[in-house]
Amino acid sequence: MKEEMFYEGELIQGYNLWDFSEDVQERIKNIFRETGFDKKINMETAFIEREEPEYITEIQDFLLDAIAVNTAPKNNFFTTASGIKPLPLEKSEINNFALDGKVKFSDKIEHIHLSKLSELDDSINCFSLPENEDFLNLMESIERHGVLNPLLVIKYEESDQYMVLCGNSRRIALNALFNETGNEEYLYAPCIVLDGIKDPQTLQSIVIETNLSYRKLSKEEQIKAVLILDGIITKSKKYKNEINITDRVAEKAGISRTTANTIRGFRNLSPKALDLLYKAHINRSTARLLSMKDHETQDLIIDGLGNQINDIRKLRAMMSGPAKSAYDNELRKTVPDTWERKMKRTLEMVPNTTKITLYVASKEVEGVLNALLPLRGKAASKYQAFKDNEINKHFRVVLNEDHMEQYLKAGRVTQETLDKIRSGEFKEVIKYA
């Protein structure tokens, strides 16, 4: 993923190591080894593309309800389960929207009966309630300590009803505790009443600004939440350039700038690609590459590659599109290239290398390593791996160094064998062919 950085006052672009082709990665690795930099980093993981953590915990639970406002009908009313609607949004209020604008709220905590608290319509709420274990933990916490954080609510005009912005899970937990115990204390929720909120964007701003989440968000929820943040902040006049927006999104979502930058790029995904991302059928690396193309091309590539869509090598091949011409093996001549021909060639591609994992009994380690030596030697000869460590592009043995150290002390393996299997010098490797 490209990452903006500053060097001597100039904006430059940086790259993750896995963004480069395999050949370039190998050249970088060789440079690291020649300069000794390979001793400073973990070479086994530095060049492996990584997914972001499965969950984030920094966005409050009422961010879930904010999505409903963002996707509500464009009549500028909040749709609610009770059917009550606050005042319509005036155009002037949209123009004056400021992300960090303050709202009025009561200076005391009101204990409001659960029957007067309602949530946004489930049909437009994109997020789920806490998982069973998390919900049971919440109930246990309330039963033991009470509601530690008051709910944030908005009072409907000319009504005694309130809409819950923050704390819907706590509202449901209180109701469950009342049904379980019959204790009427659980029928009243401590609430802070917000006032003067009429436009959805200000509501979303409050949702984002309150950054005290107690539960996890899935990858799908994380992406949706960050895209909501991006939409709000992009419309704000305070953040004029992309760098400021990305920094602000990262800050508000409680995630790294790299993650924020990646997810912001998903705005360019086609509806089909975005749906596959939400369902975890494509990973973030695939989504990031697809987002660089127009929607029609994205869908064409998705349909063509099918369940191989996450094969980055094939995806990169398709991203370049058809060439001016291509050789047709059946016709035995050069013909104009097409998406169909390019797709056929791409699907026929096979991985250049593969990983084979061996689990070996400690007493067999010495013998297995010696058996691998002639295989490495033959590979070095076949691929003419003359440069130092070039053999590792074609035949690499990765050892568990902690185990090898123990085996060495216990006499299960010799230092000579370890030195041989680790060698990357052509003259040494070829001896055992």
422 and 303 both lie in a single domain: no
341 and 369 both lie in a single domain: no
Assign residue 165 the CATH number of its domain.
Answer: 3.90.1530.10
Cα(432)–Cα(378) distance, integer angstroms: 8
Is residue 304's pLDDT more than 70?
yes
Cα(184)–Cα(175) distance, integer angstroms: 10
In a domain, 334, yes or no: yes
69 and 176 both lie in a single domain: yes
In a domain, 246, yes or no: no
* pLDDT tens digits for range 373-406: 999 999 999 999 999 999 999 999 999 999 999 9
Residues 6 or more apart from 62 whose CB is under 8 A from it? 152, 164, 165, 166, 167, 168, 207, 210
In a domain, 245, yes or no: no
pLDDT band at 79 (very low <50, low <70, confident <90, very high): very low
Cα(348)–Cα(331) distance, integer angstroms: 18
Residue 194: predicted pLDDT: 81
12 and 122 both lie in a single domain: no
* pTM of the full structure: 0.52
What's the structural domain count of the chain? 4
In a domain, 140, yes or no: yes
144 and 292 both lie in a single domain: no
In a domain, 314, yes or no: yes
In a domain, 225, yes or no: no
pLDDT band at 245 (very low <50, low <70, confident <90, very high): confident
Residues 6 or more apart from 406 whose CB is under 8 A from it? none
Residue 379: predicted pLDDT: 95
In a domain, 57, yes or no: no
68 and 212 both lie in a single domain: yes
Q: What is the DSSP string of 148-213?
A: SSPEEEEEPTTSS-EEEEE-HHHHHHHHHHHHHH--GGGGEEEEEEEES--SHHHHHHHHHH----
332 and 389 both lie in a single domain: no
202 and 70 both lie in a single domain: yes
Residue 51: predicted pLDDT: 41
Stretch (H or E) spanning 13:
strand 10-14
Question: Is-contact 30 387, C-beta < 8 A?
Answer: yes
In a domain, 294, yes or no: yes
108 and 197 both lie in a single domain: yes
Could you give the percent of the chain with pLDDT greater than 70?
68
78 and 216 both lie in a single domain: yes
Most trustworthy range by pLDDT among 277-281, 319-323, 405-409 = 405-409
Last residue of a domain, one of 347, 376, 398: 347
215 and 91 both lie in a single domain: yes
* pLDDT tens digits for range 88-127: 333 333 233 334 445 555 667 889 999 999 876 544 344 5
- Alpha carbon 191 to chain centroid distance? 34
310 and 416 both lie in a single domain: no
List the domain range (segments joined by +) for residue 20.
Answer: 3-46
